[in-house]
Amino acid sequence: MGTSTALKVLCTTLLIEKSPQALPLGVACIASAIKNDPRTKDFYDVELQDFCLEDPKMAGIFAGATDGGKEAAEERAGLYLAGELAKKEPRIVLFSVYVWNHVVLERAARCLKKIKPEIITVAGGPEVTASPSVFEGFDYTIAGAGEEASVLLLQALAGNAGKKELPQIPGLYFLDGKPGVFEFRRTAPCLPDRLYSPYLDGTLDVSRYGGALWELARGCPFKCSYCYESKGEKKVSYFPMERIKKEIELFAEKKVPQVFVLDPTYNASKDRALKMLRLIEEKTPDTFYYFEARAEFIDRELAKAFSRVRCALQIGMQSADPEVLKNVNRTMDRKKFIKNIGYLNDEGVTFGFDLIYGLPGDTLKGFKNSIDFALSLYPNNLELFCLSVLPGTDLYDSAKDFSLVWQHQPPYNVLSTPQFPEGELKKAASLAKAVNLFYTKGRAVSWFNCVVYHLHKKPTAFLGEFEKYLKEEKVSLLPEPSLLEIRKLQKDFVKRQFAKARLEKYTDIVLDMIELYGAMSDADGEGKSSTVKLRYWPEDVLSEYAMDLPFFCANAESHRCTVKVQPSAEGAVFKIL
């Protein structure tokens, strides 16, 4: 708590959505550092003020804004944010800048200076770290981890040093209308054992966001060239176990429903990963955790440990082509990858894959091959992204060597490569939407491979025809269809596919699978009860024999029934009405 004469500091950012994975952790860490560090805590009254694109006012500003009107909407949004910040009468405002809020926050800072010129504005975050001297709308920018540099800057300002007499703080860029007047190296990484927890000091209230974004480590042992970490230190610094235990006890006390673990390679250290999983199992058995993991580090023991907690793993495959991966400093041993993912399937662990289209050296055909390979391993979801050539990454520095053409403003998407021309990238983006709707949003993992196998189609051929079906039926994806609407689309499309292949005799069991597995995923995912009408007994539909359609239809008896599916502590359950 500051003194009665403390200067008001606002730590702010603009979020995409109000959710656990989007909560303002970065800027909250800066706020915690300033309010707890002995060098600043008695001089400043610190407040966290986050905004969100989903807030009614912000949503109204951007509603209906086309590409042509986007700039005007960003200007209005910046003016609105500046007005809201000015109402708090701060002396200093620190902005956390990312790809999605870069333009709006810079405009907000400019507007704020017009409203109250005496306010000092500071910007940090990944976008600023990449190009700190480009952001002319701020008084100062900080490149690198911001906790120590922010404290040093505010300590100097509190001592009335004045902008032109500041000490040479590593990572601090003093702009004052002339980009790069004083330019120093990027800040050194902050040691985790010297950082303060925004959860434990009350800066972040997990109840506001429906969950937590939990930082367990900083740094990454890998150097994937498209990632900001490619220019960071190639080592991992772990947060002290004492702090982690206190945070998890807080999550237990607050009954936090879900936690997104912010650690790019959770299983980089197997011993630590196992220790953490035991702690999670003991302290928060009812909380659902989301981890990012590397497939090459998964073994049977880790898979069993993951299976004992409520969790899902997201695994960055990016491409299934080892030659393409070499271009971005990644590797893949396909046999080992398949074996290790098999451990997760054997233990019933939920997992998904990330894939990127537009990587240097990749093609549309290669991207489709990656999708086919990924879906053959039964992921729960498949997240497909266009390559972003982010400033501050090794890929950005080498992009011209690969003859990449990309957007030089957020979101920095690649526009063409020699092997992946613009037209092919648009086809990849369209296919990605179809995959997302049918497979991921449609929760098709339980029955998808059975369907494509009996249709004798590759997954991408099947999903490409679904893409055409959406266009022919003029299905609008805005707003996104509901789960029930997606299920209806799935059933109609699958029915047509089986009729086209003259496999109508298998249609009833496949439609039953879509209905029953869909209802069970609704019960597990949303806690939703539902009633479905089936043509076969539910036990038969869920049996492994159902996956062999000819055998099932030759031996199972048809029996129309109504089944109620509902959630329970042990997972989805059903009963015949």
**How many CA atoms, within 13 angstroms, populate the side-chain half-sphere of residue 561?**
18
- Let me know whether 143 and 51 are in one domain: yes
**Residue 405 lies inside a defined structural domain of this protein:** yes
pLDDT per position in the chain (577 positions), as tens? Answer: 445 578 999 999 999 988 888 899 999 999 999 999 999 999 999 999 999 999 999 999 988 776 667 889 999 999 999 999 999 999 999 999 998 899 999 999 999 999 999 999 999 998 888 888 788 789 999 988 899 999 999 998 887 654 556 777 888 887 654 444 445 566 777 888 889 999 999 999 988 899 999 999 888 888 899 998 766 666 788 999 999 999 999 999 999 999 999 887 888 889 999 999 999 999 999 999 999 999 999 999 999 999 999 999 999 999 999 999 999 999 999 999 999 999 999 999 999 999 999 999 999 999 999 999 999 999 999 999 999 999 889 999 999 999 999 999 888 999 999 999 999 999 999 999 999 999 999 999 999 999 999 999 999 999 999 999 999 999 988 888 999 999 999 999 999 999 999 999 999 999 999 999 999 999 998 899 999 999 999 999 999 999 999 999 999 999 999 999 999 988 899 999 9
Provide the number of structural domains found in the chain: 3
- Let me know whether 259 and 317 are in one domain: yes
Q: What is the DSSP string of 69-92?
A: THHHHHHHHHHHHHHHHHHT--SE
| Pairwise CA distance, residues 291 & 300, whole Å | 17
| Pairwise CA distance, residues 534 & 543, whole Å | 14
Do 140 and 148 touch, CB atoms closer than 8 A?
Answer: no
- Let me know whether 246 and 361 are in one domain: yes
**Residue 156 lies inside a defined structural domain of this protein:** yes
Of the residues 436, 451, 473, which one is the last residue of a structural domain? Answer: 436
Of the residues 411, 436, 461, which one is the last residue of a structural domain? Answer: 436
Alpha helix (H) residue ranges in 284-310: 300-307
**Residue 195 lies inside a defined structural domain of this protein:** no
- Let me know whether 469 and 382 are in one domain: no
- Let me know whether 159 and 283 are in one domain: no
Residue 429 structure tokens: 């983006």
Amino acid identity, position 257: P
Please give the residue range of the domain that contains residue 93: 7-183
Q: What is the CATH number of the domain that holds 288?
A: 3.20.20.70
**Residue 379 lies inside a defined structural domain of this protein:** yes
Do 111 and 82 touch, CB atoms closer than 8 A?
Answer: yes
C-alpha angle 569/570/572, rounded to 5°? 95
| Pairwise CA distance, residues 390 & 393, whole Å | 6
Alpha helix (H) residue ranges in 284-421: 300-307, 322-326, 334-347, 364-375, 394-398
**Residue 188 lies inside a defined structural domain of this protein:** no
**Residue 189 lies inside a defined structural domain of this protein:** no
- Let me know whether 123 and 222 are in one domain: no
Do 252 and 259 touch, CB atoms closer than 8 A?
Answer: no
- Let me know whether 414 and 447 are in one domain: no
Of the residues 399, 420, 436, which one is the last residue of a structural domain? Answer: 436
**Residue 37 lies inside a defined structural domain of this protein:** yes
Q: What is the CATH number of the domain that holds 87?
A: 3.40.50.280
**Angle of helix 102-115 relative to helix 70-87, nearest 10 degrees?**
50
- Let me know whether 36 and 12 are in one domain: yes
pTM of the model: 0.93
- Let me know whether 422 and 476 are in one domain: no
- Let me know whether 457 and 428 are in one domain: no
Token pair 């600023």 is found at 128
Nearest one of 147, 149, 141 to 121, comparing CA atoms: 141
Radius of gyration of the chain (CA): 26
For every residue of 5-39, which 3-state class applies, written as one string?
CCEEEEEEEEECCCCHHHCCHHHHHHHHHHHHCCC
- Let me know whether 98 and 45 are in one domain: yes
- Let me know whether 170 and 234 are in one domain: no
